[in-house]
Homo-oligomer: A and B are copies of this chain.
Amino acid sequence: MRIAFLFYDDMTTLDAIGPWEVLWRLPGVQAVAASRFGARVRTDTGLVFDDTLPFTQVAAADVLVVPGTTKVLPQLSDARTLDWVRAIDATTRWTTSVCTGAMILGAAGLLAGKRATTHWGAMKSLEKFGATPANARVVRDGKVITAAGVSAGIDMALTLAAELTDETTARGMQLAIEYDPQPPFDSGDASRADEEIRAKARALVAGGVKR
């Protein structure tokens, strides 16, 4: 079973790594990181991945995972990326996104008529792609599974792990990564956070890409 991750410059590292950590160890799974030209990809927090495979070497997958980014616009008009996303989707059992990765699926035409979620700050944008924004952490519509912002990819991947293997294995994976979350604050949901916290979150994201 092959799981293809889209990697690209300015992607948000944790969007990809949450699901990667959960899915990579599953029995029978081979996870691959694919990017436009392969090799180096620089994330939006300045980390550099190397040895990603070029699109030309990843032609099919059972599962596609598309992470998001704080700078999604360049991806939405990149024909090479969107063509690859569509081509892989044509071969998948599951097509998934984390955070603003949903907008990349949308730009590829894969969310038309579907319920989907994304980062809270980008939720309205889903409508541009013919999707119906659904206010849930993980949204499944047919074979498309979208996750909310950044850390929601972990929850999405555990849900997916149970589909790809069985619930005992998914629970075992949850325990392997000791995912018994205990955030010190309760500010993770935009509908419950006050405006000061929302403004701070926007500023932190906008201040991104320091290099």
Interface residues of A (CB under 8 A from B): 12-14, 17-18, 20-21, 24-27, 30-31, 33, 40, 45-51, 99, 119-120, 137-138, 148-152, 154-155, 158-159, 162, 167-185, 187-190, 193, 196-205, 207-208, 210
Contacts and interface: CB of A to CB of B under 8 A. Distances in A.
A179 B175 contact: no
Given A20-B13, A47-B49, A158 B185 contact: yes
Contacts of A33: 47
Contacts of A48: 49-51
Contact of A181 (B30, B31, B188): B188
B14 A177 contact: yes
A3 to B, nearest CB: 12
A205 to B, nearest CB: 5
Contacts of A18: 14
A34 to B, nearest CB: 13
Contacts of A177: 14, 149-151, 188
A200 B150 contact: no
Contacts of A14: 17-18, 20-21, 177
Given A49-B47, A207-B25, A179 B183 contact: yes
A176 B205 contact: yes
Contact of A179 (B45, B50, B172, B188): B188
A30 to B, nearest CB: 8
Contacts of A17: 13-14, 17, 47
A45 B21 contact: yes
A153 B185 CA distance: 15
Given A175-B187, A175-B189, A175-B198, 6 more contacts: A158-B185, A168-B197, A171-B200, A176-B204, A177-B188, A181-B188
